[in-house]
Amino acid sequence: MKKIDNSEQHAHLTTPTRLTGAEIVWATLAGEGVTDVFGYPGGAILPVYDALRKFPIHHVLVRHEQGASHMADGYARASGKVGVAMATSGPGATNLITGIATAMLDSIPIVCITGNVSSKVLGTDAFQEVDITGITLPVTKHNFLVNRTEDIAPAIRSAFQIAQSGRPGPVLVDITKDAQQGTAVFDFAAAKPRAYRPHPMLRVEDSGLAQAAELIRNAKRPIILGGHGISESGAMEQVRTLAERAQIPVALTLLGLGAFPASHPLNMGMMGMHGEAWVNHAIQEADLLIACGMRFDDRVTGSTSTYSLKSKKIHIEVDPAEINKNIKVDVALVGDLREVLEQLLPRISGRDGSAWLKTIDASKGVASVRDIKNLPDLGHLYAAHVIHDIWRITGGNAIVVTDVGQHQMWEAQYFHHEHPRSLVTSGGLGTMGFALPAAIGAKFACPEKEVWVVAGDGGFQMTAAELSTIVQEKIKINIAIINNGFLGMVRQWQQFFYDSNYEATPLISPDFVKLADAHGIAGRAVRTRPEVESAVNEARSASGTFLLNFLVEKEESVYPMIPAGASLHEMIRRPGKDPLLETPDDN
Amino acid sequence: MLHTFVAYVEDLPGVLTRVASLFRRLNININSLTVGRSERPGLSRLTLVCEASAEAGNRIRASLYKLENVVDVDDIAKDPAVTRELALIKISATPRNRSQIFDLVEVFRARIVDLTSESLMIEMTGVESKIEGLIEVLREDDGRILEICRSGKMTMRRGHHTSRVLKAMDAGGEEATEEDVDPVASLEERVTGESE
């Protein structure tokens, strides 16, 4: 990461100056505090790249534009700041889309800047022309087509405001080549967007707060459902205070992991499809759910018609369009989670929750006995053991960036996150190929942090070209490939729901260690459990990026599991007895 | 149920696409959509009618507000409002059978706005059922109707109603508190369609 002296650049920001559109792009980004941009040049964005050398911004050359949008995403998730991706028109722009949709589904603030053909030929099917604002309309929070130089700075500044405000999300700014080449007076202050207007349907009323407090006071079996909104809003302390003061256990969504410490006695862990049966059972038995910054996603609720029918529900949520969308709630407090909890907490007094906590504790039974992390390896290498060992050895202090599939769920189950933003994972869109580029973005956001990629052999190959980016940028991350020779999660579904017809899921992969070596990256294959610790330590102590290829059991499945669309209490249990439904008291 | 949304949107290219795309994404068919200038410079006013469940109204309105170019959204639902539609109907009519049409136009309080030796054009403004009534009568004679052009519905609340969002905007909206700009009854009232 090059150090750039930016002392003289501030002149642009304080004194209105005539600049080219290309220069305005960088000057505005610098003014917004951007230090790193992930991108790929091309014809329609060349003027912008030509102006880069004059500005204090580091550009990371990706190997595929999907990598750029994922890196911007990983940067944003790890830091809480806006990530920036850049691409040319046409295929450059369309390659960004998977990353944009990933950010949209998980409410991640990124700004994507694309070049487009000159405004004179817009709409003529010119070379590398594509209607990227039209294409990305449903997967961006907003987008801009800019064809006048003087509109560039206001558009980019608005993009930053929109990306971060309310419920965050991706914004795309498409700038025609002639707008980049033209000149205009750049006045950073004057380009400031009008004051952010909160969604007019935000509503936190005294009566709602009183009702919520009353429900909490009278609840016998309450549970806090914590989601991504906790870290997005920065409400970790407030949620913790609520839980501790009222003695309410906390279950988390996948994206909520880390927002409430895993080691906290009130933490129940992850809910939903691959949550523990006793967690889901407690949700079904609860008489009050306090949903904090989560959206009752189908992976969390299972069948909505049988979801937690005995409970009243309080929904604290920043997006009014989420209220009553999936699950009908009794009290909606529509606003920023931290602000709402600040208002609610004075009304919450100490409460004795011990009976319910005891019930939950008893319902865990000996489910943990059959939990693979507590079982001996018997000479096998299980993915769950590998991930649990990485957690143990790193002391849980790393940022873990996962791909999508079985390893992602094992990570969620066996890597215990204590801190927000320590798990970076694609929850909503479930984007395979996310891990490697997102980890590069996370490393740029937090250069001092230990960053681990945990990816499957399938997803890793989708974006493996970004290994070159790692080498070119001389960054250090650790890569753990959980290699089972299958598209494991799909294979698992085939096993459970398609009579073990393993169609198109067995997978031949390159020798990942040799692949790493070809890039100049060190690596090592790991075949047995006793090697895991030394391998993880070797990776951590290596000065550069290190790849570990864990050749794990081929046909392991993630347990327990709610089949898609089934009820929360109808889980497929861990093997050990008959493959029956798992209930909390079922040993 | 039938929802009627009245929205103020920025008068910019692509804004209508964003509104339409939202309904496409929600898989809701738009029954009627009219757009035109409003009393506010730079803002268009649209009336959008669609069929959706009673509970969906709140979410549609909230989703419309999430579009950056949408300034104000009102769900008229069952509240007292005036709804009008404009229709232009061209029919074949010769001097021989014209007088019969003239009588009809009189009864329906419509107007003749164009007249040639072979055809005439009727302009009619009114509620949907009235326009449907005229068309139905005209259809009794096969082949008489040559063209129909209908505007779709335009709706305005009765009484001295102005959105608090717009009021706040006029007052220099920036400083308006959330309470000031909140134009809606509680979620519960919205769902049941009770007025504010």
**Both B60 and B88 in a single domain?**
no
Query: Do A213 and A126 belong together in one domain?
Result: no
Q: Among A54, A81, A128, A211, which one carries the catalytic annotation?
A: A128
Q: Are A450 and A331 part of one and the same domain?
A: no
Residue A549 domain-assigned (yes or no): yes
Range of the domain at B124: 82-154
Which domain, by its residues, includes A41?
A: 10-186
A181 and A288 in a single domain? The answer is no
Residue B97's pLDDT is 86
Q: Is the pLDDT of residue A582 over 80?
A: no
Asked whether the beta carbons of residue A203 and residue B72 sit closer than 8 angstroms, the reply is: no
**Domain-embedded: residue B183:** no
With respect to residue A578, please indicate whether it lies within any of the assigned structural domains: no
Question: What residues have CB less than 8 Å from B113, skipping those under 6 apart?
Answer: B88, B121, B122, B123
Does the annotation count A556 as an active-site position? no
Q: How many domains does chain A have?
A: 3
pTM: 0.93
CA A333, CA B187: separation in Å to the nearest integer? 11
**A86 given a catalytic annotation:** no
Q: What is the pLDDT of residue A370?
A: 66
Q: Does B108 touch chain A (CB under 8 A)?
A: no
Identify whether B184 is part of a domain. no
Query: Does residue A243 fall inside a structural domain?
Result: yes
Catalytic annotation present for A177: yes
Q: Out of A186, A221, A240, pick the residue that ends a domain.
A: A186
Q: Which amino acid is at A210?
A: A
Q: What pLDDT, on the 0 to 100 scale, is given for residue B177?
A: 41
pLDDT for the residue B176: 42
Same-domain check for residues A178 and A314: no
Decide if B38 contacts B19 (C-beta within 8 A): no
Q: Are A44 and A177 in contact (CB under 8 A)?
A: yes
Contacts of residue A324 in chain B, CB cutoff 8 Å? 55, 58-59, 187, 191
- Residues 6 or more apart whose Cβ sits within 8 Å of residue A206: none
Least confident of A54-68, A389-403, A561-575: A561-575
Return the residue in A199, A202, A324 with the most chain B beta carbons within 10 A, the one to mutate for interface testing: A324
A53 plus A136 within the same structural domain: yes
Q: Do B73 and B12 share a domain, yes or no?
A: yes
Are B70 and B167 found together in one domain? yes
Q: Are residues A143 and A223 in the same domain?
A: no
**B25: closest chain A residue by CA:** A138
Residues A407 and A345 occupy one common structural domain: no
Whether residue A135 lies inside any domain: the answer is: yes
Q: What pLDDT score does A579 carry? A: 40
Q: Are residues B16 and B68 in the same domain?
A: yes
As a whole number of angstroms, the distance between CA A581 and CA A384 comes to 21
Q: Are residues B16 and B72 in the same domain?
A: yes
For residue A91, name the pLDDT band (cuts at 50, 70, 90).
very high
Average pLDDT over residues A295-307: 95
Residue A226 sits in the same domain as residue A350: yes
Predicted complex ipTM = 0.91
Same domain for B147 and B171: no
- Same domain, yes or no: A225 and A274: yes
Mean pLDDT of chain A: 94
Set A104, A129, A164, A177: catalytic member: A177
Q: Residue B133: which residues within 8 A CB-CB, separation 6 or more?
A: B108
Whether B6 maps to a domain, the answer reads yes
A4 contacts chain B (CB < 8 A): no
Cβ pair A194:B174 closer than 8 A: yes
User: B17 and B31, same structural domain?
Assistant: yes
Contact B62 A197 (CB under 8 A): no
A133 neighbourhood in chain B, CB within 8 Å: 14
User: Measured on CA atoms in the order A30, A34, A40, A44, is the torsion positive or negative?
Assistant: negative
Express each pLDDT in A499-531 by its tens digit. 999 999 999 999 999 999 999 999 999 999 999
Chain B nearest-CA distance from A337, in A, is: 16
* C-alpha distance from residue A164 to each of A92, A177, B124 (Å): 24, 27, 49
Confidence band of A373 (pLDDT split at 50, 70, 90): confident
CA dist., res. A223 & res. A567, Å (int):
18
Are B146 and B172 in a shared domain? no
Q: Are residues A478 and A536 in the same domain?
A: yes
Question: What's at A321, amino acid-wise?
Answer: A
Nearest-CA neighbor of A22 among A86, A107, A94?
Answer: A86
* Domain shared by B89 and B50, yes or no: no
Instruction: State the best of B187, B188, B191 to mutate against chain A, taking most chain A CBs within 10 Å.
Output: B187
pLDDT at A15: 83
Q: Answer whether residue B192 is part of any domain.
A: no
For chain B, say whether A192 makes contact (Cβ under 8 Å): no
User: Do B124 and B172 belong together in one domain?
Assistant: no
Same-domain check for residues A239 and A301: yes
CATH number where A74 lies: 3.40.50.970
Contacts of A498 (CB under 8 A, 6+ apart): none
pLDDT at B192: 39
pLDDT along chain B (196 residues), means of 10: 95 96 95 95 96 91 96 89 96 90 94 95 96 94 89 92 80 49 38 36
Residues B11 and B105 in one domain: no
Is residue A577 pLDDT above 60, yes or no?
no
Task: Give yes or no: residues B76 and B6 share one domain.
Answer: yes
Whether residue A342 is found in the same domain as residue A393: no
How many structural domains is chain B composed of?
A: 2
B123 part of a folded domain: yes
Residue A306 within a domain = yes
- Give the closest of A145, A162, A201 to B65, CB-based: A201
Tell me the per-residue pLDDT of A248-271, one tens digit each, with 9 for 90 and over. Answer: 999 999 999 999 999 999 999 999
Surface of A (507-546) touching B: CB under 8 A? none
Name the 3-class secondary structure at B153.
strand
CB contact under 8 A, B191 and A203: no
Q: Is residue B52 part of a domain?
A: yes
**A581 in a domain, yes or no?**
no
DSSP string, A191-218: TPPPPP---TT-B--HHHHHHHHHHHHH
Residue A195 within a domain: no
Question: Is residue A94 in some structural domain?
Answer: yes
Write the Ramachandran bin of A295: left for phi over 0, alpha for psi from -120 to 50, otherwise beta: alpha
Give the pLDDT band of residue A368 (cuts 50, 70, 90): low
**pLDDT of A526-575, one tens digit each?**
999 999 999 999 999 999 999 999 999 999 999 989 998 899 988 887 77
Token pair in block for residue B50: 């669609």
CATH number at residue A297: 3.40.50.1220
Chain A nearest-CA residue for B180? A200
**Nearest-CA distance from B166 to chain A in Å?**
11
| CATH (domain of B146) | 3.30.70.1150
B187 within some domain: no
